[in-house]
């Protein structure tokens, strides 16, 4: 089966509590706007000429290529954060790069790390960066919670 190369992408983030770790992950997907789909975790290459769009409502049950970071905790009072970064190359015919990172601690720290990861990834490819897009979220755990950030590829 060959899957068509996506031509559009958007960034999302969400966080939530849940009854269990899996329930909190599911609720974070819903909070991000991509719940009720089947996310397919992919590696981190943005197809050339892929255009950023605002998040769209995805068809229920659809298979969605997604690069994502998530972190779940059951430690009350703990702060968890997740972020994604998209490095857009200067050349339109070259692929971009997506990096994902999650950790305990503040969103600002996670966003700084994921940005550096994207910069380093483009550096080793000897590609100049036109822009870096970042989306992150921070969540304070009450019982069991998840922070989730993603780049969704769409056609």
Cα 79–Cα 84–Cα 85 angle in degrees, nearest 5? 135
- Which residues have a Cβ under 8 Å from the Cβ of 75 and sit 6 or more positions away? 141
* Residue 52: count of CB within 10 angstroms of its CB: 15
Active site residues: 38, 43-44, 100
Tokens of 65: 């290529």
How big is the chain by its Cα radius of gyration, in Å?
15
Residue with tokens 């994921």: 114
């Amino acid at each position: 089966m060959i899957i068509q190369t996506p031509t559009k992408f958007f960034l999302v983030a969400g966080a939530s509590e849940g009854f269990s770790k899996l329930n909190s992950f599911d609720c974070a997907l819903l909070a991000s706007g991509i719940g009720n789909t089947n996310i397919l975790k992919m590696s981190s290459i943005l197809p050339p000429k892929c255009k950023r769009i605002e998040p769209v409502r995805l068809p229920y049950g659809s298979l969605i290529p997604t690069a994502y970071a998530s972190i779940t905790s059951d430690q009350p009072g703990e702060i968890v954060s997740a972020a994604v970064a998209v490095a857009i190359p200067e050349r339109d015919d070259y692929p971009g790069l997506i990096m994902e990172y999650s950790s305990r601690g503040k969103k600002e720290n996670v966003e700084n790390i994921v940005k550096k990861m994207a910069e380093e990834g483009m550096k080793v490819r000897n590609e100049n960066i036109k822009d870096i897009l970042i989306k992150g979220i921070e969540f304070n755990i009450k019982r069991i919670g998840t922070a989730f950030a993603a780049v969704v590829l769409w056609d």
